[in-house]
């Protein structure tokens, strides 16, 4: 009887989550040829192609997308078995900081899946601007922080993935070209800084019509036609749309980072839990 390799399935899932063979190799500590060989053997075993090349990226085929869901279920069961039989289960408190735009995407799985897998870990979640979460004076208030940063700060992160920053609005509402109306978070927000920087480089008038630190408040303003905003592509909520207009400047890219402050503080009692939480969140960040 044919049997799937857990190691190969984990490689397959990591390739899709990381967006490429080379990045998966970096995460798993393997060379790209070794990663490619694993996928080739899996494709031969299943007699199906799992990836096809689109430009410079490898995208999953229909079979690959179907297998992703099954592979994640299989790996979850495998990991649950080993967690159950581990003599020293995770216990303790984790203080997580997360931006509001990612809270709606990630908190359901963190509260549901993570809490179910590690019932003895008490989670304290704070939602705020990345600027506030990474404030040096507040670092000791968090064990793990998800934040948006520039490339310089990303070098210090325990996990980092680059994403496009995109304009967000409601496609059912018109976007005026004579005056760009903005709904933005307060001063210190990385989105706000980038938007203003790029708009100052062009000639179309613009104004900040509404300010709110919470994504739900910004979403409500967008739905009322007050203006548009900017987000990392991975964080765009289902009720809003990426908008593209000739007069809107390109916003470039941004880094989505995870900082394991408990490990950096060399807190041995918390480091195992914080590492587990960091890996859990990284594996569930949406693909762009």
Tens digits of residue pLDDT in 128-175: 989 899 988 887 899 999 999 988 888 889 999 999 999 999 888 776
Asked whether residue 163 is domain-assigned, the answer is yes
Phi, psi (5° rounding) for residue 151? -65, -30
Whole-number Cα distances in Å, 213 to 22, 99, 124, 128, 131: 36, 10, 20, 8, 11
**pLDDT surpassing 80 at residue 214:** yes
Are 51 and 122 in the same domain? Answer: no
Residue 30: per-residue pLDDT: 83
Are 219 and 258 in the same domain? Answer: yes
**Is the overall model pTM greater than 0.95, yes or no?**
no
d(CA 13, CA 68): 6
Query: What's the average model confidence in pLDDT over 11-17?
Result: 88
d(CA 51, CA 62): 9
Confidence label for 42 from pLDDT (cuts 50, 70 and 90): very high
* Residue where one domain finishes, among candidates 65, 85, 105: 85
Task: Please report, for the domain that includes residue 16, its CATH number.
Answer: 1.10.10.10
Are 132 and 42 in the same domain? Answer: no
Helices 268-284 and 100-109: crossing angle, nearest 10°? Answer: 100
Asked whether residue 59 is domain-assigned, the answer is yes
Are 69 and 106 in the same domain? Answer: no
Among 230, 222, 233, 216, CA closest to 174: 222
- Half-sphere exposure (Cβ direction) of 256: Cα atoms closer than 13 Å: 24
| Between 288 and 118, residue with greater pLDDT | 118
Percentage of residues in the chain having pLDDT higher than 90 = 40
Q: Domain residues for 229?
A: 90-288
Residue 54: per-residue pLDDT: 79
Are 54 and 152 in the same domain? Answer: no
Asked whether residue 25 is domain-assigned, the answer is yes
* Residue where one domain finishes, among candidates 85, 102, 136: 85
Asked whether residue 42 is domain-assigned, the answer is yes
Residue length, the chain? 288
**pLDDT surpassing 70 at residue 269:** no
Are 125 and 256 in the same domain? Answer: yes
**pLDDT surpassing 90 at residue 88:** no
d(CA 163, CA 232): 6
Q: Which residue has the tokens 């007069």?
A: 247
Are 189 and 58 in the same domain? Answer: no
**pLDDT surpassing 60 at residue 19:** yes
Task: Please report, for the domain that includes residue 260, its CATH number.
Answer: 3.40.190.290
* Residue where one domain finishes, among candidates 32, 60, 85: 85
Residue 287: per-residue pLDDT: 65
Residue 168: per-residue pLDDT: 94
Judged by average pLDDT, the poorest of 76-90, 144-158, 241-255, 268-282 is 76-90
**pLDDT surpassing 60 at residue 236:** yes
Confidence label for 104 from pLDDT (cuts 50, 70 and 90): confident
Residue 87: per-residue pLDDT: 55
Are 129 and 269 in the same domain? Answer: yes
Judged by average pLDDT, the poorest of 101-115, 183-197, 218-232 is 101-115
Residue 17: per-residue pLDDT: 81
Q: Are 188 and 128 in contact (CB under 8 A)?
A: no
Are 42 and 138 in the same domain? Answer: no
In degrees, rounded to 5, the angle at the alpha carbon of residue 159 between the alpha carbons of residues 153 and 162 is: 70
Asked whether residue 181 is domain-assigned, the answer is yes
Q: Are 91 and 121 in contact (CB under 8 A)?
A: yes
Q: Which two tokens stand for residue 80?
A: 């649950």
Are 214 and 137 in the same domain? Answer: yes
Q: Which residue has the tokens 């839990």?
A: 273
Asked whether residue 128 is domain-assigned, the answer is yes
Q: Which two tokens stand for residue 39?
A: 């996928």
Q: Are 187 and 213 in contact (CB under 8 A)?
A: no
Residue 90: per-residue pLDDT: 79
Are 246 and 142 in the same domain? Answer: yes
Rg (CA), the chain: 21
Are 22 and 132 in the same domain? Answer: no
Give the chain's domain count.
2
| Helix or strand run (H / E) with residue 165 | strand 159-169
Whole-number Cα distances in Å, 91 to 114, 122, 130, 177, 229: 13, 8, 27, 55, 40
**pLDDT surpassing 70 at residue 86:** no
Asked whether residue 1 is domain-assigned, the answer is no
**pLDDT surpassing 90 at residue 182:** yes
Among 33-37, 77-81, 283-287, the range of highest mean pLDDT = 33-37
Residue 272: per-residue pLDDT: 85
Q: What's 119's DSSP letter?
A: T
Percentage of residues in the chain having pLDDT higher than 70 = 95
């Amino acid at each position: 009887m044919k049997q799937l390799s857990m190691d190969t399935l984990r490689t397959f899932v990591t390739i899709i989550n990381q967006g490429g063979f080379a990045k998966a190799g970096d995460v798993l500590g393997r060379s790209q040829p070794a990663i490619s060989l694993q996928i080739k053997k899996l494709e031969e075993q299943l007699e199906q192609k799992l990836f096809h090349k689109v430009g410079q990226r490898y995208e999953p085929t229909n079979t690959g997308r179907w297998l992703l869901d099954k592979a994640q279920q299989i790996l979850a069961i495998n990991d649950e078995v080993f967690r159950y039989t581990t003599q020293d289960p995770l216990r303790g408190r984790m203080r997580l900081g997360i931006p509001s735009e990612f809270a709606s995407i990630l908190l359901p799985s963190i509260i549901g899946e993570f809490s179910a897998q590690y019932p003895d870990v008490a989670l304290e979640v704070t939602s705020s601007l990345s600027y506030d979460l990474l404030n040096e004076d507040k670092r000791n208030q968090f064990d793990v922080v998800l934040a948006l940063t520039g490339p310089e700060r990303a070098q210090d992160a325990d996990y980092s993935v680059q994403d496009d920053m995109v304009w967000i609005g409601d496609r059912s509402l018109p976007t005026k070209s004579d005056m760009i109306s903005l709904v933005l978070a307060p001063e210190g927000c990385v989105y706000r800084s980038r938007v203003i920087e790029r708009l100052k480089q062009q000639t179309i008038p613009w104004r900040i019509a509404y300010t709110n630190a919470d994504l739900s408040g910004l979403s409500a303003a967008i739905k009322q036609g007050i203006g548009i905003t900017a987000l990392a592509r991975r964080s765009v909520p289902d009720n809003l749309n990426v908008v593209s207009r000739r007069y809107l400047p390109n916003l470039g890219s941004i880094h989505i980072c995870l900082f394991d402050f408990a490990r950096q503080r060399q807190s041995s009692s918390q480091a195992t839990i914080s590492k587990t939480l960091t890996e859990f969140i990284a594996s569930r960040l949406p693909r762009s």
